[in-house]
Structure formats: structure tokens, C-alpha cells
């Protein structure tokens, strides 16, 4: 069986943790993309289309870890296996977390919670969007991709943003959320 070829992501490119892979292979075969250094860690699987192209994305909400990542692929066809492709290396950048609560323009009590979604295992820091920014706290994102930060705030109008850090990489800021503490 001929070897498989990964076309995207391109070598050295920057990609998000949930990325798609494309390439060329034998029509009707199944493509399997794995971490290059751990063939048992399956990133994605799918079928090669009749024209020989394939496109697969993370299986079971698989998120690539931030930083330098290498993957390789192989074909499974009629119980045969192709040789592994050449490893493809790229950089996974960490996306900003989401702030879901409080909602923009909400009115909240002094003792409240700020919560949202992020990369599992990342640390999320919530800051005021003022200059200089004031940290309201840091919390770890759970395996379910959610985070929750209890805070006690003085009365007033606040504008906040959040950053997440994982494996030494820090995201750009989240969208800003403005709310009032009564």
C-alpha cells in the first residue's frame, strides 16, 4: 500500500487546539492520525474520499496540547497498513478563554462568581481591563472545560477580561465583559 501524505496543517504553521488535518491517500481507506511520539494516542480518524482526498478533525473533542506538536498518519485498507507518513510538526497556540458569567451589562451582588470555558488543565486569570490591570484571581480549568472563580467586589462598574496559561503559553485576552456590582 502506498504511503499517506499530510497536506495540512503545513510544517511550522500555527494552529488552534481543535484543528483539522487534510491529505491524500487511497480512496476507500481509513486514515488514522496519531501523535508522532506516541502512536497509541489517536488524534483523528476518517475515510479517504473517492477522489483520494481526506479531511479529519479531532476525535471525541480531542484537543491538541499547546506548544510544538508532531503528528503522523497511516492508512488502513482491506486489513493492510500503509507505512507511517513523515512526521508533520506545527505549533498549537492557546486560544483565549470565554467569560460566560456575568453576562455583559449584568447587575450582580458584591459576592459573586465569574465563570466560563477554557482549555482543560489551563490556569485562567481574570483581571480588570483597567490600566494598570488588577488581578481578581486565578483558577484551574476542569476536565469538562469549565472554570469558576468566586470573588467579592466593591460596588461599581467593572470591565474584566481573562487569559489562560498552559504549558508555558499564555493566550491573548478574552473578550471584555462589563458589569455592575450593586
Domain extents for the chain?
A: 5-92, 98-181
pTM of structure: 0.67
152-181 pLDDT tens trace: 999 999 999 999 998 788 998 999 999 999
Mean pLDDT over 13-29 rounds to 90
What's the CATH architecture for 98-181? Sandwich (2.60)
CATH of span 5-92: 2.60.40.10
For residue 20, the model assigns a pLDDT of: 92
DSSP the chain: -PPPEEEESPTT-EE-SS-EEEEE--TT-EEEEEETTEEEEEEEEEEPPTTSEEEEE-GGG--PPSEEEEEEEEEEETTEEPPPPPPEEEEEPPPPPEEEESPTT-EE-SEEEEEEE--TT-EEEEEESSSS--EEEEEEPPTTSEEEEEEE--SEEEEEEEEEEETTEEPPP---EEEEE-
Same fold? 5-92, 98-181: yes
Amino acid at each position: 500500500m502506498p504511503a499517506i501524505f499530510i497536506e495540512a496543517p503545513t510544517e511550522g504553521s500555527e494552529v488552534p487546539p481543535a484543528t483539522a488535518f487534510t491529505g491524500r491517500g487511497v480512496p476507500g481507506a481509513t486514515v488514522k492520525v496519531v501523535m508522532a511520539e506516541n502512536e497509541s494516542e489517536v488524534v483523528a480518524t476518517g475515510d479517504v474520499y473517492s477522489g483520494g482526498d481526506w479531511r479529519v478533525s479531532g476525535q471525541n473533542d480531542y484537543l491538541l496540547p499547546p506548544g510544538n506538536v508532531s503528528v503522523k498518519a497511516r492508512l488502513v485498507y482491506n486489513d493492510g497498513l500503509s507505512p507511517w507518513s513523515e512526521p508533520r510538526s506545527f505549533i498549537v497556540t492557546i486560544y483565549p478563554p470565554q467569560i460566560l458569567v456575568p453576562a455583559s451589562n449584568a447587575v450582580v451582588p458584591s459576592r459573586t462568581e465569574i465563570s466560563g470555558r477554557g482549555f482543560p488543565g489551563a490556569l485562567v486569570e481574570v483581571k480588570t481591563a483597567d490600566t494598570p490591570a488588577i488581578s481578581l484571581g486565578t483558577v484551574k480549568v476542569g476536565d469538562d472545560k469549565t472554570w469558576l472563580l468566586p470573588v467579592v467586589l466593591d460596588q461599581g462598574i467593572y470591565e474584566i477580561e481573562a487569559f489562560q496559561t498552559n504549558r508555558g503559553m499564555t493566550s491573548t485576552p478574552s473578550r471584555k465583559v462589563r458589569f455592575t456590582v450593586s
